[in-house]
Amino acid sequence: MNLPTIALLATGGTIAGSATAATDTTGYVAAALGADALLAAVPAITTVARVRARQVYSIDSKDISSAHWLTLARAAQEALDDAAVAGVVITHGTDTLEETAVFLDRTLDCRHKPVVLTGAMRPATALSADGPMNLYDAVCAAAHPDSAGRGVLVCFNRLLLQGATVHKRHTSALDAFGPGEAGPAGHTGPVRYHAPAWQRPAPQALPRDAESLPRVDILHVGAGMPADLLEYAVQRGARGVILALPGNGSLPEPWHAPVARAVAAGVRVVRATRCGNGNVSAHHIDQQCGSTAAGPLTPAAARIALMLDLLADHC
Ligand code: SIN
Mean local confidence (pLDDT), 182-192: 95
Q: Ligand 1, residues 60, 68, 121: which to mutate, most atoms within 8 A of Cβ? A: 60
Which pLDDT belongs to residue 146?
Answer: 97
Give 70's contacts (C-beta < 8 A, 6+ positions apart).
206, 210, 211, 212, 213
In whole angstroms, what is the distance from residue 165 CA to residue 156 CA? 14
Separation of first and last alpha carbons in the chain: 47
Which pLDDT belongs to residue 182?
Answer: 79
Mean local confidence (pLDDT), 184-203: 94
Mean local confidence (pLDDT), 199-224: 96
Q: For helices 228-235 and 256-264, what crossing angle results, to 10°?
A: 10
**Contact present, 13 and 93 (Cβ < 8 Å):** yes
CA-nearest residue, atom 8 of ligand 1: 94
Which pLDDT belongs to residue 1?
Answer: 73
Q: Are strands 268-273 and 292-293 parallel, antiparallel or unpaired?
A: parallel
Q: Is the dihedral of CA 245, 251, 255, 260 positive or negative?
A: positive
Instruction: Select which of 5, 11, 14, 273 is catalytic.
Output: 14
Mean local confidence (pLDDT), 240-249: 98
Which pLDDT belongs to residue 195?
Answer: 94
Pocket, ligand 1, Cβ cutoff 6 A = 12-14, 30, 60-62, 93-95, 119, 121
5 is catalytic: no
Atom of ligand 1 nearest to the CA of 97: 2
Which pLDDT belongs to residue 199?
Answer: 85
> Among the residues of 236-298, which ranges form H helices?
256-264, 284-289
Which pLDDT belongs to residue 198?
Answer: 84
Which pLDDT belongs to residue 168?
Answer: 96
CA-nearest residue, atom 2 of ligand 1: 93
- Distance of CA 136 from the midpoint of ligand 1 (Å): 18
**pLDDT by residue (tens digit) across 91-130?**
999 999 999 999 999 999 999 999 999 999 999 999 999 9
In whole angstroms, what is the distance from residue 13 CA to residue 247 CA? 33
Whether residue 314 has pLDDT greater than 80: no
Q: How many residues does the chain have?
A: 315
> Three-class SS of residue 232?
helix
Q: What is the residue-averaged pLDDT of the chain?
A: 96
Position 56 confidence tier, pLDDT thresholds 50, 70, 90: very high
Atom of ligand 1 nearest to the CA of 12: 3
Mean local confidence (pLDDT), 283-304: 97
In whole angstroms, what is the distance from residue 115 CA to residue 2 CA? 21
Q: Are strands 5-12 and 87-91 parallel, antiparallel or unpaired?
A: parallel
In whole angstroms, what is the distance from residue 34 CA to residue 3 CA? 24
Q: Give me the amino acid identity at 39.
A: L
Which domains does the chain show, CATH number per domain? 5-193 (3.40.50.1170), 216-314 (3.40.50.40)
Atom of ligand 1 nearest to the CA of 62: 2
Whether residue 181 has pLDDT greater than 90: no
CB atoms within 10 A of CB 69: 23
- Distance of CA 12 from the midpoint of ligand 1 (Å): 8
